[in-house]
Amino acid sequence: MARQVNVVERTDIHPKVRLVAKPSSGLTGTVSIPGDKSISHRAILLGAMAVGETRVTGLLEAEDVLSTIAATRLLGASVERSKGGEWRVWGVGTGGFHEPDNVIDCGNSGTGARLLIGAVSTVPIVATFTGDRSLRSRPMQRVIDPMQRFGARIQARDGGRLPLTVRGASNAVPLVYELPVPSAQVKTAVMLAGLSAPGETCVVEPVATRDHTERMLGAFGASIRIEELAQGKAIFVEGHAELVGQRVAVPGDPSSAAFLAAAAAITSDSDVVLPGIGINPTRAGIFATLREMGTRIECLNERLEGGERVADLRVRGSCLKGVEVPSERAPSMIDEYPVLSVVASVAEGTTVMRGASELRVKESDRITAMVEGLRTCGVEVTEYSDGLAVHGKGPGSVHGDAICASYLDHRIAMSFLCLGLAANNPVGVDDASPIATSFPEFVDKVTEVGAAITSAP
Ligand code: S3P
C-alpha cells in the first residue's frame, strides 16, 4: 500500500495530474531540451522595451513564459509566433509601456512577476499584478524596497505579497543598490527600472548570480559597465536607454537538462545526449556537482550562441558517492537542489547541501518538500534551516512505494518522478500539472529514452 504525504490543491485553474514513475534502466538516446526559461523571459521583456522588431528562436513555450508574453501584450507590445516557431516582438521603447487595462496575472512565475514589477516601476502608469496560489505566497518585498527608492508607489498585501499595485514613478531617480539577497530576479528588476530612469543606476551583488540580463542588455544596445569592487560585482546601467530589437537564440535550459542528466546518472546502463545546453558558469553548478559525485558528463562541441556558452552534454551513470556541495556554489545551481537530493539518495554516503536558504521561498519551500517526500520514500535525511543532508545508502537502497506532494512546484514534481526511476518500487506525485510551467514535454522526453512514467489511477 503506497504511503501518502500531505496533499495540497493545485492552482485555481488546473485539474490535477497524477503520475507514477517505475524502476527503469538503460536510458539511451538524444533528447532535445526546451529553451532556457530565464533567457526566454528576458528576451520577451527586452524585446517589449526595445524599438523595432526582436526575433526569438528556441523560446521556451511553457506557462511561465506565456504569462510574461500576455503581460507584455497588456503593456502595449505586439508579440506573435510564426508558423516555424520563431517569436517576433515589436516593442514600445523604454518608458513606453501603456497602462494595462486589466490585472497582470503572472501565473506561477516569480521571475515574470519580479522582472515586470521592475520594468513598470519607473514608467508613469498603474499596473496590478497577481499570480497563482504559490506565487501569491512568495516574498515581493525584495523588489518593492528598491522600486520605492526609485520613486514608485507600491501597495501590496501584508508581508509584501501579491496581488500588488504599482504606481510607477513619473520623476524617477537613479539608484545605487546593494542586493540584500543573492537574487538575479531582484538584480534584473533594478536594472530594468534603471533603464527608464534618468542618469546611471548601479546594482551591486556581493554574491554572483546568473548574468543573462547583463549579457542581453549589452546586445540590445544598452550602455552597461561592470566593475569588480571589494563588496562584489557592480553593474552600472545608463538610464533613458534606447534599446534596439535584436535576434535572440535561446539555448537549451540547463535547469531542465538537469532532470535528464540526473535520470541518466541514477539508472544503470544509461547514456543520454542533450544537445545545445547553456553552460554559462553562473548556471552550471549542478554539472560540476554531478561530476564530483561520479557522473560521467562530457561537454561536446562547446560554442558561443547569442552571447551564451552552449555545449552538447553526454551523460552516463556510474557509481555515485556523497559530496559536500560548497555553499558558495548555491546561486549557480539554486533550482537544482531538489533533483540533486534525489541523486544523493542513491549515492553512497552523505551529501551535504547548505547555504541555500533561498530554497525556502521558491515555488514551494523546497527544503521541506524534499525532506518530507524523501523520508516517505525511505531515505534518511537531515533538515537544516538553510538546506539538507541526504544520507545515501547506494543503488537499490530507496524503498519508494509512495506518493509525494508536489506543492504546486514543477521542480519538486519532476524530482520525485526521477527518484521513482531508481527506487525499488514506484514513486508517484500527487499533482504533476505544475511541470507545464517550465518543461511541458518532460514526461515525453524521459519516456522517449526508456523511462517508465505513466498516469496513476
Ligand atoms: C531566476 C533567478 C532565480 C531562479 C529562478 C529564475 C531568473 O531566482 O531560482 O528560477 O531568471 O532570474 P532568484 O533570483 O530568486 O534567486
Query: Ligand 1 centroid to 270 CA: how many Å?
Result: 30
Which residue's CA is the nearest one to ligand 1's atom 9?
Answer: 335
pLDDT-above-90 percentage for the chain: 95
Residues within 6 Å of ligand 1 by CB: 38, 111, 183-185, 188, 210, 334-335, 358
Query: Ligand 1 centroid to 139 CA: how many Å?
Result: 13
Atom of ligand 1 nearest to the CA of 184: 14
pLDDT of residue 9: 47
At 29 the three-state DSSP class reads strand
365: confidence class by pLDDT, cuts 50, 70, 90: very high
pLDDT of residue 83: 92
At 170 the three-state DSSP class reads coil
Whether the per-residue pLDDT at 457 is higher than 80: the answer is no
Q: Nearest-CA neighbor of 8 among 425, 440, 403?
A: 403
pLDDT of residue 164: 98
Indicate the angle between helix axes 410-422 and 366-376, nearest 10 degrees. 30
Cβ contact 425:401 at 8 Å? yes
Q: Which residue has the cell 504511503?
A: 3
Whether the per-residue pLDDT at 190 is higher than 80: the answer is yes
Whether the per-residue pLDDT at 346 is higher than 80: the answer is yes
Residue 281: DSSP 8-state? T
Tell me the CA distances in angstroms from 87 to 65, 67, 81, 213, one per residue in order: 12, 15, 4, 19
Of 6 and 388, the structure prediction assigns the larger pLDDT to 388
pLDDT of residue 6: 47
Whether the per-residue pLDDT at 354 is higher than 70: the answer is yes
Whether the per-residue pLDDT at 4 is higher than 70: the answer is no
Among 37, 38, 362, say which to mutate for ligand 1: greatest number of ligand atoms within 8 Å of CB: 38
- SS3 percent helix, strand, coil of the chain, rounded to 5, is 35, 30, 40
Which residue's CA is the nearest one to ligand 1's atom 11?
Answer: 38
435: confidence class by pLDDT, cuts 50, 70, 90: very high
Average pLDDT over residues 234-252: 97
Residues catalogued as catalytic: 335
pLDDT of residue 306: 84
Determine whether 15 is exposed, middle or buried from the number of CB atoms within 10 Å of its CB (0-12, 13-18, 19+).
exposed
pLDDT of residue 456: 87
CA distance 331 to 340: 14
Among 185, 215, 329, 414, say which to mutate for ligand 1: greatest number of ligand atoms within 8 Å of CB: 185
pLDDT of residue 7: 47
Residues 6+ apart with CB under 8 A from 296: 314, 315, 316, 317, 318
pLDDT of residue 140: 98
Whether the per-residue pLDDT at 319 is higher than 90: the answer is yes
378: confidence class by pLDDT, cuts 50, 70, 90: very high
Cβ contact 79:48 at 8 Å? yes
pLDDT (tens digit, 9 = 90+) per residue, 272-281? 999 999 999 9
Whether the per-residue pLDDT at 5 is higher than 50: the answer is no
Among 37, 39, 111, say which to mutate for ligand 1: greatest number of ligand atoms within 8 Å of CB: 111
Query: Ligand 1 centroid to 110 CA: how many Å?
Result: 8
Query: Ligand 1 centroid to 426 CA: how many Å?
Result: 31
pLDDT (tens digit, 9 = 90+) per residue, 116-158? 999 999 999 999 999 999 999 999 999 999 999 999 999 999 9
Degrees to nearest 5, angle at CA 230 with 228 and 231:
95
Which residue's CA is the nearest one to ligand 1's atom 10?
Answer: 335
pLDDT (tens digit, 9 = 90+) per residue, 10-46? 456 678 999 999 999 999 999 999 999 999 999 999 9
pLDDT (tens digit, 9 = 90+) per residue, 33-79? 999 999 999 999 999 999 999 999 999 999 999 999 999 999 999 99
